[in-house]
Amino acid sequence: MQKQAVIILGHGSKSTQAVDDFNYIVELLKQKLDGQNVFGAHMELASPSLEEVVAEIALSGVSRVVVIPYFLFNGNHIKEDIPEILAQLKVKHPQLDFHFGKPIGREPLMAEIMYRKIQEIA
């Protein structure tokens, strides 16, 4: 089996609280994916960037990189920006095999989460 790394890719923010919230989710996923290399990265406005995390992974002997966007919908970052960045990173790190997942999107659990949020303030 290939050695694998998982990157949770968020938008990034200047807000320290927003970055802390993102890092909290990444830490929860690290616990759930015990034994796998799990990293958080940001598109912009915060560190580490996707490029920085991939550079670190490239030195670790990992060959398979799974990139999961922490985005709700298929906007421009999902359809254009991230695939373009991954194509550039593939040229820079040809030993890495990138796999790009889907955003949260129409996940039925989102309706349940939103329902709970409504109930909290109703």
CATH number at residue 55: 3.40.50.1400
Confidence of residue 116 (pLDDT cuts 50, 70, 90): very high
- Residue 6: what residue type? V
The alpha carbon torsion through 91, 94, 97, 99 (nearest 10 deg) reads -10
Q: How many structural domains comprise the chain?
A: 1
What is d(CA 59, CA 32) in angstroms, rounded to the nearest whole number? 24
| pLDDT the model gives residue 35 | 72
What is d(CA 38, CA 20) in angstroms, rounded to the nearest whole number? 16
Name which of 31, 34, 29, 39 is nearest 66 in CA terms: 39
Confidence of residue 8 (pLDDT cuts 50, 70, 90): very high
Confidence of residue 74 (pLDDT cuts 50, 70, 90): very high
- Beta carbons within 10 angstroms of residue 99's beta carbon: 12
Residue-range definition of the domain harbouring residue 18 = 4-121
Residue 76: pLDDT over 90: yes
- Residue 48: what residue type? P
For residues 65-79, give the mean pLDDT: 96
Q: What is the mean pLDDT of the chain?
A: 95
The tens digit of pLDDT for each residue in 21-39 reads 999 999 999 999 987 899 9
Q: Give Cβ neighbours of residue 11 (< 8 Å, ≥ 6 apart).
A: 42, 43, 44, 45, 70, 71, 77
Lowest-confidence range among 12-16, 31-35, 37-41, 66-70?
31-35
